[in-house]
Amino acid sequence: MNVRDALNAAVEVLEPAGVESPRLDAEILLGHALGVSRTELYAEPEREISESEEERLRGFVERRARREPVAYILGEWGFRRLTLAVDARVLIPRPETEVVVERCLERLARLEAPRVLDVGTGSGAIALALADEHPGASVIATDISADALSLARENRDRLGLGGRVELVLGHFDARLPGPFDLVVSNPPYVRPEDFESLQPEIRLYEPREAVVGVGAHAAVARRARELLRPGGWLVFECGDEQAGEVSETLRSLGYGEVTASRDLAGRDRVVEGCWRP
Ligand SMILES: C[S@@+](CC[C@H](N)C(=O)[O-])C[C@H]1O[C@@H](n2cnc3c(N)ncnc32)[C@H](O)[C@@H]1O
C-alpha cells in the first residue's frame, strides 16, 4: 500500500464514523504513524508503507473512528509556542484559550516580575504559556484534579519552567499567598443540561469535571477579590453566549473596566475586569 491508498482507506473509515474532518485527520494520523510531517506526505504520495506502519495507522484510525480526539491519539498538542503532552487526564487546550493568554500578556506587559494565579490549570496550558512568553512572570497554578496536576507537572518540567510555575492541588476557593497582579481562569462552564448535546469527542473522552460546571466564574471572581492587588486584573474564558452574564457578575462583585474580547471565530469568549476596591 502506498501513502495515497492508505489515506483513501483511512478516509473511508473516518467519514461514515461521523468525523468532522476525515481527510485532515487521516493525514495527521498517517504522518504520526510514519513519523513524518503532512508536507512530506504530499511530497511522496507513491511512497510504499511497511506492514508495521500500516498496522500502526490502523490502530490510530480505529481509535479516531470511535471518536477519540486526535490530540489524545498523538499524545501531544500545540498551544501558543509550546507543544504540551495531553491525555485523558486533561482538557485539550483550545484555540480560544490562546486569546486568553494574549489578553493576559497585554495586561502584564508593563510589569517586570508579575505574580500570576491560574485557576483550574489542567495541562498547564495558560500557566506555562504565560511563563514562556513573559520571562519575568512567576505563576501559581491550581487544580482540583491530582491527575491533571501530574500531567501539568510533566509538561512544566519538560519545558524547564519548574523554577517559575508552582503547581498546587486545590479548589477554586483555595486561599493562596497573594497579592497577585493577575488571576486567570478557564473554568468548566458547560451547563449540565447541555452535556448530552456535546460532540462525542468531548462527551466520551474529556474529563467531565473539566467541562461541566455551574457558577465557577462567580466563585473564582469572589475569591480573586482577596488575592488581587488593587489595580490587578481578572481574566476569564467563558462559553458562547456567556460573556454578558460573566461581565455582569464581575461588575456586581465590584470589578471595573469590564470588557469582552473575541475569539478567532468572532465570538466574545474572554472577559476581563480590574480590581479597584
Ligand atoms: C476547562 S478546564 C481548563 C484547563 C486549562 N486551564 C485550559 O485552559 O486548557 C477546567 C479545569 O478546572 C479544573 N477544575 C474543575 N473544578 C474545579 C474546582 N472546583 N477547583 C479547581 N479546579 C477545578 C478541572 O480539573 C480542569 O482541569
Ligand 1 geometric centre to CA of 156 (Å)? 17
Percent of the chain with pLDDT over 90: 97
Which among 153, 176, 186, 189 is the best mutation to test ligand 1's pocket, defined by most ligand atoms within 8 Å of the CB?
186
Residue 100 above 90 pLDDT? Answer: yes
- How large is the average pLDDT for residues 87-105? 98
| Residue 125 CB neighbour total at 10 angstroms | 29
Residue 175 above 90 pLDDT? Answer: no
- Grid coordinates of 34: 510514519
CA-nearest residue for atom 11, ligand 1, is 120
C-alpha distances out from residue 206 to 122, 149, 163, 250, Å: 11, 15, 29, 28
Q: Which tens digits make up the pLDDT trace of 191-213? A: 999 999 999 999 999 999 999 99
C-alpha distances out from residue 211 to 30, 49, 180, 275, Å: 30, 39, 26, 27
Residue 174 above 90 pLDDT? Answer: no
Q: Which tens digits make up the pLDDT trace of 16-26? A: 999 999 999 99
Cα distance between residue 255 and residue 241, in whole Å: 20
Ligand 1 geometric centre to CA of 134 (Å)? 22
pLDDT of residue 173: 85
Residue 47: burial class (beta carbons within 10 Å; 0-12, 13-18, 19+)? middle
- How large is the average pLDDT for residues 107-112? 98
